Amino acid sequence: MALTIYSYPTCGTCRKAKKWLEDHQKDFQELHIVENPPSRDEIEALYRSSGLELKKMFNTSGKKYRELGLKDKIRDASEDELLDILSTDGMLMKRPIVTDGNKTTVGFKDSEFEQVWGSPQ
């Protein structure tokens, strides 16, 4: 099954993840996270299949995150509120997001990619 990678073209971490996938001959479809952001339901599915805490899906170093003052807002927000916030703007999401529909990784760490995506497709 081909992978889907939500990325942002100027993001260095996204470029590293793409290079890893290419170097490991993984078939993938790239989606621009701002032009083609995942829907709220897709974000929820990505979050659940990642095994991460929902707050880890936020791009906490992003300009938009700081502009909106989300550090304080997400601390006490419910899961529904967090999903609603994430679905408003692709720039709020940590990237890259790579999924095969069953497993999802958020961000890029060589060791994590090797563990999750290193096996033959």
Q: Give the separation between CA 96 and CA 120, rounded to whole angstroms.
A: 21
Q: Give the separation between CA 105 and CA 88, rounded to whole angstroms.
A: 21
SS3 at position 118 = coil
Options 11, 31, 52, 83, the catalytic residue: 11
CA 121 to chain centre: 20
Is 11 a known active-site residue? yes
End-to-end C-alpha distance for the chain, whole angstroms: 6
Tokens found for residue 105: 């990784």
Residues serving a catalytic function are: 11
